[in-house]
Copies of this chain bind each other. A is one copy, B any other.
């Protein structure tokens, strides 16, 4: 335990990831929240935007211009993609470690980014500096990183569902289908026809069929694990719930397989990973809500000779804010699970 707490800056206060970061850091024993920024709400107490913090975190919001003066040890960028990159460029030599929750540095490079995000990238040098912040795969690299690209929510659940098989090169090429379902907070805080209560409540629909930008993030990471390019069919759907992602992944394998062997592969792969729980029955999203857990359940279907894996996370936590805290813990040599021991809130 250090004598002095880390000073954290949260850049971008109005969204869900900003408020979830604040919630986690407020009860983190090694951190103080030094500053929270919002360009459109300068001067307002943070709790005006997020009344759940009333009497707990009422500090006034400031402009991102103030970040430098606050000398943060760690900067969390809770900003939209396309906006984050400029702040990374600006603060890369500030002495602070940066954890970027946007999609700006998750991919392998400028070209693939511009193709899938349909947007110019203003700081391509960042791709080399950034470490992909999935602790179950890259803990060692994260420990030494100054810039972490926090993974997307869907990619987190998707990659963890299939990593053990890809790492062993057991997945047959082009066979992977990921049918994913997310709670509405994944669509962000912005009011629109899509996020209107009556569009979502008692409804369910697919979107981004055949073209969602998380596809390439999953392909790159699983491909790297297996050592060759891989194609993924990824279809996201919108659930009428606040939080949670459930992934149903289907794959053909090479070589013989059975349930025992499959379970063994997953047990081996995740045995030292405290936040991945290998379940013995199908998990629901509420089993992990409000927590940093990813629950995984692999099934071998003898009849169809296919592997089916269910994985669930809280998209705002393991899919965003608690993953960022996990990365911070690793980057600063803190205990891996500090501030992340919440039992899921159920019901």
Residues of chain A touching chain B, judged by Cβ–Cβ distance below 8 Å, are 16, 19, 22-23, 26-27, 50-57, 174, 177, 179, 181, 184-185, 189, 191-193, 195-207, 209-210, 231-233, 235, 237, 239-244, 246, 248, 250, 277, 279, 281-291, 295, 299, 301, 303-304, 306, 308, 310, 341-347
Contact (Cβ within 8 A) A231 B303: yes
Residues of chain B contacted by A304 (CB below 8 angstroms): 174, 210, 231-233
A347-B185 CB under 8 A given contacts A174-B304, A195-B196, A279-B54: yes
* Distance, CA A177 to CA B307, complexed state (A): 12
Contact (Cβ within 8 A) A206 B246: yes
List 3 tightest A-B contacts by C-beta distance, closest first: A205-B284, A198-B347, A52-B344
Contact (Cβ within 8 A) A201 B241: yes
* Distance, CA A23 to CA B198, complexed state (A): 17
Residues of chain B contacted by A290 (CB below 8 angstroms): 290, 345
* Distance, CA A30 to CA B55, complexed state (A): 25
Among A206, A239, A290, chain B packs the most CB atoms within 10 A around the CB of: A206
* Distance, CA A232 to CA B306, complexed state (A): 11
Contact (Cβ within 8 A) A54 B295: yes
* Distance, CA A197 to CA B190, complexed state (A): 10
Residues of chain B contacted by A240 (CB below 8 angstroms): 197, 201, 239-241
* Distance, CA A290 to CA B23, complexed state (A): 12
A301 interface neighbour in B210, B237, B341, Cβ under 8 Å: B210
Contact (Cβ within 8 A) A181 B198: no
What is the CB-to-nearest-CB distance from A260 to chain B, in angstroms, rounded to a whole number?
A: 15
* Distance, CA A295 to CA B197, complexed state (A): 22
A246 interface neighbour in B54, B237, B284, Cβ under 8 Å: B237
A198-B242 CB under 8 A given contacts A27-B343, A52-B343, A209-B308: yes
* Distance, CA A344 to CA B19, complexed state (A): 11
Residues of chain B contacted by A181 (CB below 8 angstroms): 181, 204, 237
Contact (Cβ within 8 A) B243 A347: yes
Contact (Cβ within 8 A) B233 A306: yes
A210 interface neighbour in B50, B201, B308, B346, Cβ under 8 Å: B308
What is the CB-to-nearest-CB distance from A125 to chain B, in angstroms, rounded to a whole number?
A: 29
A201-B197 CB under 8 A given contacts A242-B347, A287-B52, A347-B242: yes
Residues of chain B contacted by A19 (CB below 8 angstroms): 346
Closest-by-CB residue of B relative to A286 is: B203
Known: A201-B240, A204-B241. 12 other contacts (CB 8 A): A23-B345, A51-B279, A51-B281, A185-B198, A197-B200, A202-B243, A203-B244, A205-B285, A210-B308, A231-B304, A232-B304, A233-B304
Contact (Cβ within 8 A) B54 A277: yes
